[in-house]
Every structure is written in structure tokens, then in C-alpha cells.
Structure 1
Amino acid sequence: MTRTGSVPESVPDALFDCRDTFAAELAALAREDPRVVAVCNDSVGSSKLAGFAAEFPGRLVNVGIAEQNMVGVGAGLAAGGMVPFVSAATPFLTGRALEQIKADCAYSDRRVVLCGQSPGLAYGELGPTHHGVEDLSWLRAVAGLPVLVPCDRVQTRAALRWAHAHAGPSYIRVPRFKVPDLVDPAAPFAPGRAVTLREGGDVTLLAVGTLVSRALAAAGTLAAAGVEARVITTPFVAPLDEAAVLRAADETRGLVTAEEGTLSGGLGAAVAALTARHRPVPMRMLGVDGFAPTGDAGYLLGHFGLTATGLHDAALDVLGRAPRKARR
């Protein structure tokens, strides 16, 4: 079910690091609940956990560079009645420890909150070994594991609160890219519930995470071109808000998905599979296609068309109109 959240007509200039929100909210949860512990892989700095370590020195477990062990420790703490938040860089948490995520957390139904830090292309020049672009594909395939991709500080706080209350495992992306505040705090945050940030009847832009602000910016330029774009964010990639997607397929002439992740198996693939079965509709998918070249994060987003211009052009393309210029 979708709900409309208020959003400014133009994307605000102020940008925020959601890792700071993650750290502050985790500390707040720890003050409220003595069962909350943090587990990391020599990533206290990049996870912004220094303040947590100072305030709760006995409730942070740093296993070193041993991600499989880290997830196993988290599962063991959960089995002992604790509520562990396991935090590490996305590619290492989800790539190296995928078996432990599947077997120790999901299959065993342990209350472990997996926090993928700095996902997508955030590590820039460090290259594909450090790009966390496959996580949505890998983890959508794991049964019983909700996959959360907040787009701003409001949804980051809501994601941690929801995961803390959830009885089973969950995975949350925590973006490194700074993003504006976009979502009304009163907007819903629950599995299978999308949030409509802008109404429109011509084309729908479905975006998650750092691509949501770019989708809103694209909607603004599309409006100037006479195209009204609906903008929907789906903070739960799994389970997806199928009703909102199918309604968009019925009510607009095409869909564009945008994610800072691989095109194989992520948000776009989920939407394509759903609409192919129930509401075939013209569609374009924006994401990472292949290994990235060397360059900083901003360059890489542009290379893959993950920009407001890329979204604008994809929307015109899906409507059969010539884009302003080629994406690449």
C-alpha cells in the first residue's frame, strides 16, 4: 500500500551523512534496551561507532577483519537473547559472509540486524572489490530476510527502529553519499509499503536510497518539458510493495527504476518480474552494468547514468520521446 509523503517542490540543498544518523539512533536504542550490542569488523571509524564504543565499551565487539566470524558472533549473541547490530562495509559483509547470513541468520531465524555501510559506488577509486553493488541481488534471494534501503535520515531512523522491533533477521543499507531530507516523518515505514513523494500520470520513477533525490530532481525537469512524473520510493526492496508498482503500471505509461546496484536481481529486476506477470508495461532500468572503471564516486554515477539527467532521459525514452542527450 502506498502513501503520499510531503516533499518540497525542489530538492533541498542541505545534505546529511546517514551514517551519523545510524550511529546516533543505535546509541539511542542502546540506552533504551540493554540487549542492544554492536558487532563490527575493524570498522569502528567507517561505521561511525566511536561514540558508541565510548558510551558502551562493553557492548561493542570488534572481531577484526573476519566477516564470516562477525556474522556468526552476531547470530550467537542473538541466540543468547541479545539484539546485535552487525555493521561492516557492504561488499565484505554481504560477499564474504553470505553463507553465514543465509544459514546462521535467515535459516535459523535469528534476530540479527545486518548493516551494510557505504553501499553502491561510494568507495569510488577503490574499485569493484570495494563497490557494494551486488548486495540487493544476493540478499533478495535469501528467504525470510527483509532488505531495507532508506533514502534519507528519516528512513534511516525508521529502518533501525523497525529492525530492532522485528523478531527475525534484517538487512539495512546505510549510505555514505550525503543526501537531503526527503520523507515526511509521518510517512509509513513497513514491509511492503512504498511512499509516493510526487504524483504524476505520465511516467513513474521508482527509486531507492541515494537515487531518490535524483529522481525528484528529474521529475522537476520533466515537468518543465510537459511530462508529469510520479516518484515512488520503496524502502523495502524485499518485500516489495507490489500493489503500488502495479497501480503505477496501470495509471502511467511506463516505469523507470533507479538503484545504486547491479541490474541483475535488484529493484529493477523485482519490478520487471512483477509487471511481466501481471501488468506488462514499457520499462527502463537504471543501475550498474558490469564492473566499473576507475574514478571517483561522482564520475561513476555519471558513467552509469545514475543522475537526474539519466533519469530524465530514461523517462523520455520509455515514453517514446527523444532524450535531451545520450546517457553515455
Structure 2
Amino acid sequence: MSQTTMKKPKLTTSAMIASIAGEGQATKAAPFGHALVEQARKNDRIVGLTADLSKYTDLHILAQAMPERHFQMGMAEQLLMAAAGGMAKEGCIPFATTYAVFATRRAYDFIHQVIAEENLNVKICAALPGLTTGYGPSHQATEDLAMMRAVPGMTVLDPCDALETEQAVAAMVAHEGPVYMRLLRGKVPLVLDEYGYQFEMGKAKLLRDGRDVLIIASGIMTMRALEVAKQLAGDAVDVGVLHVPTLKPLDEQEIIAQCRREGRLVVVAENHSQIGGLGEAVAMALLLAGVMPVLKHVALPDRFLDAGALPTLHDRYGISTQSMVTAIKQWLV
């Protein structure tokens, strides 16, 4: 047998990877952490809390810049939310960070009763939303939007990229009341700068128009929708993209207006379970308005997902760019 040791190619993806940037794509490091520090320099009411995950929610940027305004609560998400509520009662603007699965499934009652029922000014920023980790159901927050949309008075945000994450932080500070934001952390793609984008809470934005297809998307799926539009343009398919970063309150007026245009396939794309997210919200708004386009849904299935590398999982569950391109071509036939 040969004594030569064959070197295996180094894997470039892992199960825990949280970045969804493509090869060569522009990114920005820790946009949430840096934006929070910028806002904290302007407003001494801002504090940051986390449950043993400062490094993995980019809150360590605040801890380094302003250690006296950073609070480490340990592995106790219910305590995290209760403490944030207490600080809000004392006039602070707490930004509470953890993973989305822990913020929602583990601490839901405390958010509901301590924060939301009293309309406290707490900002919940939840990392690893939807299928942005391959660690399986224990870490995949595929139902977080459904849970948080159901909380009375809760504003629910799903930003697309680094630019919008930065802009959303400023908007959350200005907004009075509880907010749940899906948090993109680490090296976050930079996409919306090409479109002169400005985030407005509660507003959907048409990033590009299209005569054949309209993709209504939120979060990272807006990035995918723009990639799909560029690919399908090569096949003479004109795709519009309507970005919906605020799921609650939903910009029903803009969604309905865009869907009234006849002759277009409408596709709702979301990094969330097919139950309780953007797809159902859009469908209900259209149904109540009596607007009935041909409507398709790109979303995660109603089941516990597999563990593995993210590119593989995104293909498997139909939320990769190529999966969407294939599906839309089939729907247009």
C-alpha cells in the first residue's frame, strides 16, 4: 500500500455557520454591534443584555466599548427577559440578545407577560433565525415569526442585510414599545446599498419592478429574490422584488397594490415555516381585500429539519437561489 498520504480538501462550510454570504459577496462585520454602540453614544438610556452569548450576537462590541452598560445574565433566558423588562420600567432602553430559539421557545411566557402586556420598551434581537444554522431543531428557529406575530403589541422585524440591520437599530431606538428583530450577526452580506435603500418601520419597499413575476420576501430571502431576478433575466423573465422587513404591522396597502396588477405570478419567499409567517400574513391580507393573484409560497416545511451544512439544507428545503429559480420556471409553464 502506498505510504503517500492523500490530503482531503478542506471543508469551507460547517453545520454552525451563521453567515449566508456567497463567495465574493460584500459583507460587513458585526453591523448590529457597531450600530448599537453608535446609538448608545447618542442615548445614555441604551443598555445591552445577553444570556451567555455576547460574542455570538455581536453584543461584545458594546461590552468592549461600554462595559458598564453591558449585562451578562448567564444561561437564563427567562431571567434575561424579566431583567430587560425591569430595566425598561426604570427608563432604560434594553436590547436583549440571544439565539432566536431561546428568545422565543424558552422565554415566550416572560416576553408575553412581563414585556408585552405592559408594553415595555424592550428590544429583543434574536440571532440564528430560521434556517441559518445546521445544528438541527434545537437551534433552528423556524417558527419564531409565528410566535412573535401572535404577541399583542409586538413589532416584528426581519431585516435583509447589514445596511438594513444598522438602520433598523436606529429605528428601534426611536420606536416606543416592544420589538422583536431577527438578528443577522457576524459577517453579514451587504445587498441593499445598491438600491439606495432606507429602512422605514412598517413599510414595504419595491426594490425592482417586473412584468412577469413578483417575489414578496423578507430577511435573507430578499437577497435570494434579487439573485433569482438577475438569473431569470437571462431567460427573458422579468422579476420584481417587494421587500417586507416589517411583518407586524404589515404594510398591507403596498402589498395589495402590487398584487392588483394582473398577469403576474406572485411568490412569497421566507426563511420560516410555511405556517404562521409572511406567507400566511400576505395571503390573509389579499383574501380580505378580494385580490386573487396566482400565488405560490417558498418556505420551510412543517416538520423538524435535518442537521448539516447550510448550502445542502437550503437546497434540500427549497430556499436556495437555484431552487427558487427552478421552482419559478416550473410555475410559469
TM-score between both structures, scaled by the size of structure 1: 0.89
CA distance change for structure 1 residues 36 and 202 in 2, over 3 Å: closer, same or farther? same
CA distance change for structure 1 residues 106 and 63 in 2, over 3 Å: closer, same or farther? same
Q: Look up the match of 1:55.
A: 65
Structure 2 distance, partners of 1:228, 1:185, is: 17
Give secondary structure in 2 for the equivalent of 1:85: strand
- Which whole-Å deviations, capped at 9, do the CAs of 1:147-194 have from their partners, x for residues lacking one? 111111221011100111111110111124742322468534223311
Give secondary structure in 1 for the equivalent of 2:202: coil
Q: Look up the match of 1:173.
A: 182
Moved more, 99-108 or 170-179: 170-179
Structure 2 distance, partners of 1:305, 1:59, is: 42
* Alignment RMSD: 1.8
Of 257, 268, 287, which aligns to 2:299? 287
Give structure 1 stretches of 5+ with no counterpart: 1-10, 322-328
1:48 deviates by 1.9
- The answer to whether residue 46 in structure 2 is matched with residue 33 in structure 1 is no
Moved more, 221-230 or 180-189: 180-189
1:216 deviates by 0.9
Whether the 8 Å contact between 2:59 and 2:97 is mirrored in structure 1 is: no
Structure 1 distance, partners of 2:67, 2:198, is: 34
Give secondary structure in 2 for the equivalent of 1:58: helix
- Which whole-Å deviations, capped at 9, do the CAs of 1:227-251 have from their partners, x for residues lacking one? 2111111110111111221122111
1:17 deviates by 5.2
Q: Look up the match of 2:140.
A: 131
Q: Look up the match of 2:171.
A: 162
Structure 2 distance, partners of 1:186, 1:253, is: 25
**Structure 2 counterparts to residues 1-328 of structure 1, below 5 A:** 13-16=24-27, 20-124=30-134, 126-176=135-185, 178-183=188-193, 187-251=197-261, 252-278=263-289, 279-289=291-301, 290-319=303-332, 321=333
Structure 2 distance, partners of 1:253, 1:186, is: 25
Whether the 8 Å contact between 1:113 and 1:163 is mirrored in structure 2 is: yes
Quote the sequence identity (%): 31
Whether the 8 Å contact between 2:50 and 2:59 is mirrored in structure 1 is: no
Whether the 8 Å contact between 1:180 and 1:213 is mirrored in structure 2 is: no
Letter aligned with residue 314 of structure 1: A
Instruction: State the aligned residue count.
Output: 308
Structure 2 distance, partners of 1:99, 1:142, is: 10
Structure 2 distance, partners of 1:132, 1:298, is: 17
CA distance change for structure 1 residues 241 and 188 in 2, over 3 Å: closer, same or farther? farther
Larger Rg: 2
Structure 1 distance, partners of 2:208, 2:217, is: 12
1:49 deviates by 2.3
1:39 deviates by 0.7
Give secondary structure in 2 for the equivalent of 1:25: helix
1:69 deviates by 0.9
TM-score between both structures, scaled by the size of structure 2: 0.88
Give structure 2 stretches of 5+ with no counterpart: 1-21
